[in-house]
Amino acid sequence: MRCGECSEFRANYLDQLIIIQVQLESFSPAVDTWEMDITQKHSVAAEMKVLGTNLLKGRDYLLAAEKYGLALKLLVSDGCRAVPEDNHEEKICLIRMNISLCFMKMNAYDGVIYHSKFVLDCFDNPELAVQIPKCQEHIIKTLYRRAWAYCHINEFEDCKRDVSRIFDLDPDHVETTKLLGVVEGRVKQNDKMMSNNLRNMFR
């Protein structure tokens, strides 16, 4: 569409014909990523994060992950990390945490593990950790999401390792206690299935 042009959309709703007319008042092309300066990148990244959060609240997890991904891409691009800006690494960690939550809601286990690992590596890295307020709640959330994902792909040892770290920080963490019960149930189920398979093989 060009400025001033109109488009018409027709749809049936409850046996009624709905006609929507849209007129383009103005249009300005967005600046390409490689043409942005550092300030623009941070500004657009902040906008994408807000859009992602609104979509996450609206349970549009796929689109939310896409917006968070755009924000992350800008923040880790060349030059951005070199800016002496406060809490830059923290911004990246929070976005990765939000992406992992989106993937968790979509049962995309590998995505949860991938982004959670980055977050936990930052907290465990002495050079990066000084730039990030070591919020215990963030660590527990990230460990829980990764443990949950490990449980669902039957990586029980990795899951139990993360569960153990959570209990070291919060022995009474309710969600992790529930998850541990699920893990134990799945381990028993898998052991029984394997036992039955072996029995059938040697009949």
- Pick 43 or 62 by higher pLDDT: 62
185: in domain: no
Taking a C-beta distance cutoff of 8 angstroms, is the pair 112, 100 a contact? yes
Range from 14-23, 123-132, 153-162, 173-182 carrying the lowest mean pLDDT: 123-132
Instruction: Read off the pTM.
Output: 0.75
C-alpha distances out from residue 41 to 13, 27, 199, Å: 42, 21, 60
State the total domains in the chain: 1
147: in domain: yes
| Structure-block tokens of residue 162 | 């993360």
Structural domain of 125 = 6-25+38-170
pLDDT number for residue 100 = 97
C-alpha span between 95 and 57 (Å, rounded): 15
Helix 174-201 with 136-152: angle, nearest 10 deg: 20
pLDDT in tens, 24-52: 776 555 566 656 778 888 888 999 999 99
Q: What is the CATH number of the domain that holds 84?
A: 1.25.40.10
161: in domain: yes
pLDDT number for residue 41 = 85
C-alpha span between 112 and 70 (Å, rounded): 17
- Pick 23 or 85 by higher pLDDT: 23
178: in domain: no
200: in domain: no
30: in domain: no
Question: How confident is residue 96, by pLDDT bands cut at 50, 70 and 90?
Answer: very high
199: in domain: no
- Most confident among 67-71, 121-125, 187-191 (mean pLDDT): 67-71
202: in domain: no
